[in-house]
Structure 1
Amino acid sequence: MKNTTFTSCLAGLSSCALLVSFGLFGIATSTLSNDAVSAFNGKIEGTYGEVNDTYSRGIAGSLSIPVAESWGIQFDSLYQHAAEDDYYGLGAHFFTRKSETGLLGVVAGGIHSGTIGNFAVAIEGEYYLSWLTIGGFAGYDNVQSNGTMVTYSPKVTNRDDFAIVNLYLAAYPTENLMLRFDYMNRIDKNFYDFQVEYQTPVPGLSAFGIVGFGDNDFFQILGGVRYYIGKDKTLKARHRQDDPTNILNNMQGTNQAGGQDPGNGSSSTGERIRG
C-alpha cells in the first residue's frame, strides 16, 4: 500500500512541478535568458566515506541539455551502498539562467531503498557575485518508511509529508577552488555540510571532500573524484554555465541517517551495521 501511494505521489507531484514550471519561467525569462546551459555537458563521480559509523560508497551522474535559447534541462542519477542497503535515485531540473546573474528553476528527485522511499519537489535558485554564489531550494518532501526511521524521527511513523529547505554559500578563492557551506532542514531535523572541491590540472577532473553533522549526533565524512564531460573551463565557470548541483547528493546522506540509530551506527533493531 505504501509503495502504491509513493508511486502515485511521485507521478502526481512530477506533473504539478511541470505545470508550475511553465508559469514560473514565463515570468523569469525576461530576467534570466540566453545561456541557461552553455552546451551539452555532464558529470560523473564516485564517493567513499563514512556516515554514522557505517561505510558509504557509490556513484552519481548528471546530464545537462540546452533547450531553445533560454532553458536548460538536467537529469540526475545516483546509486549508493550504505548501511547494508542499496539506494537508487533519479532526479530532474528545469531551469533558466544567466551566467553573470543567477539561476531559477524547478527540481524534483526521488530515492528508493529497502528501508525508505523519498520524493521531493522544490523551487531552486542561485545568485552570482564575482567570487560568491548564494543558492538553495525549498519545497515538499514525501518520506515513506517501513519503520526503520523511527529511532531517527518518530514523526515518520504517523506522517509522510514534510518541508525540505537547503541553503548554501559557495566561495571561490580561485577559479578552480570552491569552498561551500550547506544548511538543510528536512524531516524536522537540521543538517550542516562543509564541502571543498578542487579542479586538478587534468582536464575535467576534480577532487572533493565533505564533512557534515546534524541533529541526533548525525555525522558524515566523504571524499571522491568528479569528472566533467564537456568543454574545458574553470570550476567556477562549470558551476555557473553548465550543470546545477545534483539534488540526489543533497538528499542521500540524510536518507541514510534515517535508517540508522544516529550516533550508534545501528539499525532500529539495535543490530550493528557495517557497510
Structure 2
Amino acid sequence: MPQRIVLALAIVAGMVTAWPTPFAQAFSGQLQGIYGQVENDELEGGEASLAVGSRFGLQLDGAYAELGEDQLKGVGLHLLYRESESYLLGLLADHAELQDVDLNRVGVEGELYAGPVTLAATIGHQIGDIDDIAFGVVDLRWYPGADLMLVAGGSLADSEDDRVHLGAEYQMMGGVSGYVDLAAGENRYDHALAGLRYYFGGDKELMQRHRREAAPNPIITNVLQGLAGIRSRQQELAR
C-alpha cells in the first residue's frame, strides 16, 4: 500500500506541475531519489510530498526504499502554520516499516528564522514494534547563498540511536537540487547518502522553498534514526 501512495503522490505532483496557473500555485511539494550506504547495506529509494496552503498548510508524505534485502516503506501527515519570515510550527504523524517491523512517530515540529540561519527541531514519541520512547531532532541550517544550504544536526531516539550528521543541498536550475548527508553515531553507525530533489510550486530560491513550501519528508530519515531498535526487534523475531 505505501508504494501505491508514493506512486499516487508522484502522479498527482506531475499533474499539478503541468496544470495551468494559478491552480498549480496553490500546491507545492517535492519528489526525490536517494542512494547511498547505511552501515554495510546499500540504500536506494524515493520519497514524494504534496502540500496545499501557505500560512496554514496540510502535507502528505510517502516513501519507498530498499535497505539491503529489506523493504522500507511509509506514509506521513503534517499540519503546519508558518510565518515565512519568522517561524514555522506544526504537528506530524507518520507510519513506517522496515521488513515488517513498524515504527510510528507523532510529534511537534518547529523552525525559527534569523536571516540566513534556520534552527529546526522536532520532538515527539515513537511507538510500534520497538521500544516506546521519546525522540528528538535538532538541525542548524545556514544559507551562505540563496540556493545553497549547509546543515549540521543531531538526533536522539534511544540509548543505541544517538546520531550527528552533516549535509548540504544546492539548487541548480528549474527546481532541481542535489544533496548529500553524512552521519555517524553509537554502535559504529554510519551512513553516506546522496540524491536529487525536484521541487514544484513556482520558481523560487532554495531558502524560500524551504521556508514557504513543503516541509522535509522525514520517513526514511526516521527509520534510519531508529535503526538500532528496529534491527534488535528483527533479531528477536528471527529466533
Q: In which range does the TM-score fall when normalised by the shorter chain?
A: 0.7 to 0.9
Structure 1 letter corresponding to 2:29 = G
Q: Does the alignment pair 1:236 with 2:223?
A: no
Match of 1:116 in 2: 101
Mapped to 2, the partners of 1:173 and 1:243 lie a distance apart of 21
Mapped to 2, the partners of 1:220 and 1:53 lie a distance apart of 9
User: Deviations along 1:178-211, whole A, 9 cap, x unmatched?
Assistant: 00112110033311111100000x2110000010
> Offset of 1:121 from its aligned partner?
0.3
Mapped to 2, the partners of 1:109 and 1:198 lie a distance apart of 27
Q: Which moved more, 1:121-130 or 1:180-189?
A: 180-189
Structure 2 letter corresponding to 1:125 = G
> Offset of 1:115 from its aligned partner?
4.3
Q: Structure 2: which 5+ runs fail to align?
A: 1-24
Structure 1 letter corresponding to 2:188 = D
Q: Does the alignment pair 1:60 with 2:47?
A: yes
Mapped to 2, the partners of 1:190 and 1:45 lie a distance apart of 26
Mapped to 1, the partners of 2:68 and 2:213 lie a distance apart of 33
Q: Does the alignment pair 1:82 with 2:54?
A: no
Flag the 1:128–1:39 CA change in 2: closer, same or farther, 3 A: farther
Q: Does the alignment pair 1:91 with 2:76?
A: yes
Mapped to 2, the partners of 1:180 and 1:242 lie a distance apart of 18
Q: Does the alignment pair 1:227 with 2:212?
A: no
Mapped to 2, the partners of 1:181 and 1:39 lie a distance apart of 31
Flag the 1:256–1:79 CA change in 2: closer, same or farther, 3 A: farther
Mapped to 2, the partners of 1:96 and 1:124 lie a distance apart of 10
User: Deviations along 1:183-242, whole A, 9 cap, x unmatched?
Assistant: 110033311111100000x21100000100111110000010000012011000000000
Of residues 82, 103, 108 in structure 1, which corresponds to 2:88? 103
Flag the 1:70–1:239 CA change in 2: closer, same or farther, 3 A: closer
* SS of structure 1 residue aligned to 2:214: coil
Mapped to 2, the partners of 1:258 and 1:227 lie a distance apart of 32
Q: Does the alignment pair 1:190 with 2:162?
A: yes
Identity of aligned residues (%): 30
**Conserved 8 A contact 1:204-1:232:** yes
Mapped to 1, the partners of 2:191 and 2:55 lie a distance apart of 38
Alignment length (residue pairs): 211
Structure 1 letter corresponding to 2:207 = K
Mapped to 1, the partners of 2:123 and 2:176 lie a distance apart of 30
Flag the 1:257–1:48 CA change in 2: closer, same or farther, 3 A: farther
**Conserved 8 A contact 1:119-1:143:** yes
1:120-131 → structure 2 map (5 Å cutoff):
120-131=105-116
Mapped to 2, the partners of 1:54 and 1:250 lie a distance apart of 15
* SS of structure 2 residue aligned to 1:246: coil
Return the TM-score normalized by structure 2.
0.83
**Conserved 8 A contact 2:179-2:194:** yes
**Conserved 8 A contact 2:108-2:123:** yes
**Conserved 8 A contact 1:166-1:184:** yes
Mapped to 2, the partners of 1:212 and 1:237 lie a distance apart of 26
> Offset of 1:116 from its aligned partner?
1.5
Match of 2:149 in 1: 178
> Offset of 1:247 from its aligned partner?
2.0
1:14-53 → structure 2 map (5 Å cutoff):
39-53=26-40
Mapped to 2, the partners of 1:105 and 1:139 lie a distance apart of 12
User: Deviations along 1:248-273, whole A, 9 cap, x unmatched?
Assistant: 14303234454558xxxxx849xxxx
Mapped to 1, the partners of 2:143 and 2:193 lie a distance apart of 21
Match of 1:14 in 2: none
> Offset of 1:90 from its aligned partner?
0.4
Match of 1:28 in 2: none
Q: Does the alignment pair 1:199 with 2:171?
A: yes
Of residues 199, 210, 217 in structure 1, which corresponds to 2:188? 217
* SS of structure 2 residue aligned to 1:237: helix
**Conserved 8 A contact 1:74-1:92:** yes
